[in-house]
Structure 1
Amino acid sequence: MDLLRIDIVAVLRGLLTSFIYAALFVGLWHLSFDQWYLPAGIRAASLLLLRYRLWPYVFIGDAAAVMYLRIPQATNDEQVIGAIVASILLLPLISIIPFISRLFIPKFSKAGLWQPVIFAAMAIWTALWMQTINAFTMPQPVTLEIFLRWAAGYYLGMLVIVPPILVYDRAREAEPVVSNFVRDVGLAGVIVLGLFLGLMAAPNMENSLRVVLLLVLITPAMALSAVHGWRGAAIGVTMTNVAIGLSIPDLSKLGDHNTTTFNAQLVLAFFATILIISGELFSRHFEALRRLGIAEEKAKRIARLGIIDTEQQMRDRVMFLMQCQNQIEEAQAQLVARLRAEGNHSAAEEVIRAWVMQPQFFEAHNSALYPVSILSEGLYHALQSSSFPVIVAGGSEVRFRLKGQPKLLSTDAQLTAYRTISSAIGVLSAAHPAGYRVHARVWIAKRSRGIYLCIEAVGGGRLNATMASSMSEIDIDNRVQTRNGASWRRRGHQISVLLPDTDTLEAYRSFGPINQASPFGV
């Protein structure tokens, strides 16, 4: 019972498809001419995009629409029978080309460069069968001119209907759309509408001027194709095609043929094919570049996560060392107290003198491993600590000119700046300078923030690269690239770096301030 109900629902949906198809066919037929036949677009879209199980209902809808249009034109019983036979046979014969196309290209919306070829093959195939059927069923002349007019009309009809549907189909698949696409389409539409109104306002315009205006109508499609690739070409060609088709004089007269407009339509058909092909090639290259950009951005994110993970590990090690230091200090204090209690004051003083330099030693090396003071005091405090010149600059003098509030930056950005300054000093140390100057400026804008760094070697000789300085230079490049920053050298002995603070990684949260009640005593 459930199976029967499902079948009935499928049949009802199929019949609804037949009705909608027939209604669209008849409606578009009344807006069509031999040289601009819109129902061909409905046929192509249905056969190329709908599932095979809906094809029988499309055949039914097409046959009903064609019989509705052709039988009233018949003057005798033979022509009535011919119209019925032609209506039943025409679309199944036309469907041979779409069927073959879909065998080799299952997803027509991704057919790309093959789409104009398939449209052209369907147009020629349809015109051939139309002339063949009419030769047997209706007293119509069979000439090359009529054949070309029909083929061009079918091709242009497909270019009006199918491309916008394909644009919608690609949009459903989340294909990226350039943000200004709607704006550019609207601007092109205004230009096309203005030219179209100019054509309609002067129906008795000279043919030469009319041809010029008709050809100018193609330029918005060319512009959209150049800017937005295949999507722009599809929309632009459709707008131009509609404007040229509606500009045909005496639209209400069935079978009317306007040679001037037809010549412009032939030019449009040629340029439309070129635009769709070139637009597809443009879109492919754009997509390749986009994917490359995504891959590059993903690599940067992975690199940044790797740097953050490394910093986290070093921070954990420093915390462990500080805990060990606290335990050693407690043991030392207990030892001194016991020695004094036993009356060994001289031994206690000796222990104290031996331990005086140890806290400074621990602090210096902990800062070199991970500047913990950044977490609570900020970047500038870490730079101006007593251990920075000793560990980073090898004991050389380091003068600072610091501006701005580094605490407004994320901890990750401050750590990156600290490491970059250290690496820059490592690069410049190859010149054996007498000292260094470090200029840092934190900048805050409406939608961005970051820090500018300038590290300069004072005095010294020629900057000869060493293994250590080369590794430091690589470290600077890696940190700058992962943050989408910039770096450059000035006069050989000066390194400038711009580091934007882009809070795009949730990993920043792992670098929040440490609780003052931490067991590490920080």
Structure 2
Amino acid sequence: MRGEWWKNGLQLNLRIEPIGLALAVIYAFACWGARQVSLDQFYLPAGIRVAAVLLCPPRLWPYLILGEYAYFAQLRYPMVDKYGKAWVIFASAFLMPIVALIVHLHRKMIAATTNVWLISVAASSAVAISLLNRSFSQFLWPTPPDNAFVATVARYAVGDFIGILTVAPLALLWVRRRSESDWAAGFLKPTGMALGLMMLLGVSAAFLPADSATARTSLQVLMALPAIALTCILGWRGAAIAVPVLNLIIGLTTPKPYPSSFDPHAFTTQLIMAITGVALLVLGSRITYYYHHYKIRDDGEKNAIKLARNSHVASEMGLRERALDLRKIGDGMDISLNEVVNWLKLQGHHEIAGGLLHTAVVHSRQFRAQTSMVYPTALDHLGLYVALQAGGVREAWELTHRVTRPRLEGDPCQLSIGLQLAAYRAMTDAVTLLLETESGQIQVRARCGRFGRYRGIVVTVALLDAAYALSETTMSMAVERLAGRALAYGGVVQCRRNRVRMVLLEMPRTDPHDAAHSSPVEYVKTTDRGSSQALT
């Protein structure tokens, strides 16, 4: 019965994992080794403690407690006669649980994008552990220490905080090594240069004479410069590497005649470096945060441009199929009319046949011109310029008596079919717009070529009278109608005085039918001198 547990007793299932025991042993040896190179003002076991909690899942935390208790057992057992069993037991049993609790309370912040929570964990752990250690010494030692309580806690807290900032960022870097797939790109070169410069400055400071404290401090402070540079380049990951190395070099080069020794000059430098480390971690987190959001927005813009470009190409392919169908219909009509004309001639109706043939030729030419307006099939094989000069667009422009002969330069066949189609539509739309809203003669110019790493085309549709400026309505309508195609190819639409200027760009490639490339608008905003100078 459930109510008779007090008679039957309780059954506890204790499962011991071999990996946990191995972890406890490794943790105990890590703390022992870290203590050998530590000072009270540079206490690495505090960093090992926080790093272990960050690296291990909560189910393994009890083994970390076991490992720390084993470490303290071999360290403090010889001190039983001097400080008492109560201090050895209680002062060794509560430090790891307190740190585990602090990390557990920060679990919601740990899931955040920025890593400022690490500073909160480091500060909270350093203060809490220092308070516990000093309180246990005050109340459990047979003879309490006579030094000031607050000053001792502050000194120990700074040493623990520096130790945590030396080890914990590296653990965080390891935990989040797979959080972003492209973070390793360009990682080794700046990291190697920054760490090499920091080590050079640190070693130079260590070999200075003992009476050169000012020069040593200056060299140690200068180590912050490559750390700042690495943080600016790599964000929080740069800070997670630079700050530990910065603290480690200063800590290892600090004179230590005995473990509890204190060097006031090195301590001042370490205070400065601790503040610098905090600033670098915060700066790196913010850099990474804004870079992450910028990357998301940039990827969204690229995807939107790619979708717009693919949409334009798909619509053009639909128009191409329609134009081919219309051409087949026109060919069928021509064949039928020729048969009728031939039959009339056989019947002796030569005048009627001649008139019908003349009418058929005129209408057939007009039908084919309108078909080419639906889709310029000549562009697929002969390029943009031939499509402009031999298609229905040329006849339509000539009928207006307002469009002069286009000035076309460069080789459009070096561009993709998608970009040529976009330029064709943009050019015809711009001419149509100026014909509808403005008066006077219109000049069309186009130039294909290279601009930096990109290939592209500059199209200018302008009023022949340079003294006559486009109206605000025309400029607004030009941007609304033409910007979509230009932006889909990394270009821009500009309205200046008497002209509308459009630039479309793409990366050069081996397959001219591939239209899925993007180009930065910055390349086309630097030049506004007409089509003859925009591309070379």
Check whether TM > 0.5: yes
1:336-375 superposed matches below 5 A:
336-375=341-380
Shift of 1:412: 0.6
1:33-432 superposed matches below 5 A:
33-71=39-77, 73-74=78-79, 76=81, 79=84, 82-102=87-107, 104-105=108-109, 107=111, 110=113, 112-135=115-138, 136=140, 141=145, 143=148, 144-174=150-180, 176-177=182-183, 179-250=185-256, 253-385=258-390, 387-392=392-397, 394-429=400-435, 430-432=437-439
* TM score, norm. by length of structure 1: 0.86
Cα contact 1:230–1:276 (8 A) shared by 2:
yes
Q: 1:465–1:111: structure 2 CA closer, same or farther, 3 Å change rule?
A: closer
1:439 aligns to what?
Answer: 446
* TM score, norm. by length of structure 2: 0.84
Shift of 1:95: 2.5
Shift of 1:164: 2.2
Counterpart-to-counterpart distance in 1, 2:103 and 2:408: 71
Cα contact 1:398–1:438 (8 A) shared by 2:
no
SS in 2 for 1:112: coil
Counterpart-to-counterpart distance in 2, 1:443 and 1:131: 72
Cα contact 2:305–2:487 (8 A) shared by 1:
yes
Unaligned runs of 5+ in 1: 1-6, 512-522
Shift of 1:169: 3.0
SS in 1 for 2:458: strand
Cα contact 2:434–2:474 (8 A) shared by 1:
no
Shift of 1:13: 1.8
Counterpart-to-counterpart distance in 2, 1:364 and 1:184: 61
Cα contact 2:48–2:167 (8 A) shared by 1:
yes
Q: 1:219–1:466: structure 2 CA closer, same or farther, 3 Å change rule?
A: closer
Output the amino acid matched with 2:135.
T
**CA deviation string 1:30-50 (max 9, x = no partner):** 111111111111211222342
Counterpart-to-counterpart distance in 1, 2:411 and 2:365: 28
Output the amino acid matched with 1:317.
R
Output the amino acid matched with 2:43.
Y
Q: 1:302–1:39: structure 2 CA closer, same or farther, 3 Å change rule?
A: same
Shift of 1:442: 2.8
**CA deviation string 1:407-436 (max 9, x = no partner):** 222111111221222233235444423342
SS in 1 for 2:431: helix
Counterpart-to-counterpart distance in 2, 1:229 and 1:444: 32
Shift of 1:156: 0.8
**CA deviation string 1:364-395 (max 9, x = no partner):** 21222211101111112112215323335734
Output the amino acid matched with 1:267.
I
Cα contact 1:193–1:243 (8 A) shared by 2:
yes
Shift of 1:468: 7.2
Asked if 1:473 is matched to 2:476, the reply is no
Shift of 1:457: 3.0
SS in 1 for 2:235: helix
2:532 aligns to what?
Answer: none
Counterpart-to-counterpart distance in 2, 1:386 and 1:85: 94
Shift of 1:119: 1.2
Q: 1:387–1:467: structure 2 CA closer, same or farther, 3 Å change rule?
A: farther
Q: 1:443–1:503: structure 2 CA closer, same or farther, 3 Å change rule?
A: closer
Asked if 1:11 is matched to 2:11, the reply is no
Matched residue count? 498
Q: 1:99–1:416: structure 2 CA closer, same or farther, 3 Å change rule?
A: same
Q: Aligned to 2:454, which of 434, 438, 448?
A: 448
1:517 aligns to what?
Answer: none
Cα contact 1:439–1:453 (8 A) shared by 2:
yes
Counterpart-to-counterpart distance in 1, 2:65 and 2:114: 24
Cα contact 1:456–1:494 (8 A) shared by 2:
yes
SS in 1 for 2:406: strand
Output the amino acid matched with 2:118.
Q
Counterpart-to-counterpart distance in 2, 1:327 and 1:467: 45
**CA deviation string 1:60-89 (max 9, x = no partner):** 111122222332x42639746743553334
Q: CA RMSD in A?
A: 3.1
Shift of 1:17: 1.8
Counterpart-to-counterpart distance in 2, 1:184 and 1:233: 12
Q: 1:91–1:140: structure 2 CA closer, same or farther, 3 Å change rule?
A: farther
Q: 1:175–1:294: structure 2 CA closer, same or farther, 3 Å change rule?
A: same
SS in 2 for 1:453: strand
Shift of 1:347: 2.8
SS in 2 for 1:442: strand
Cα contact 1:189–1:239 (8 A) shared by 2:
yes
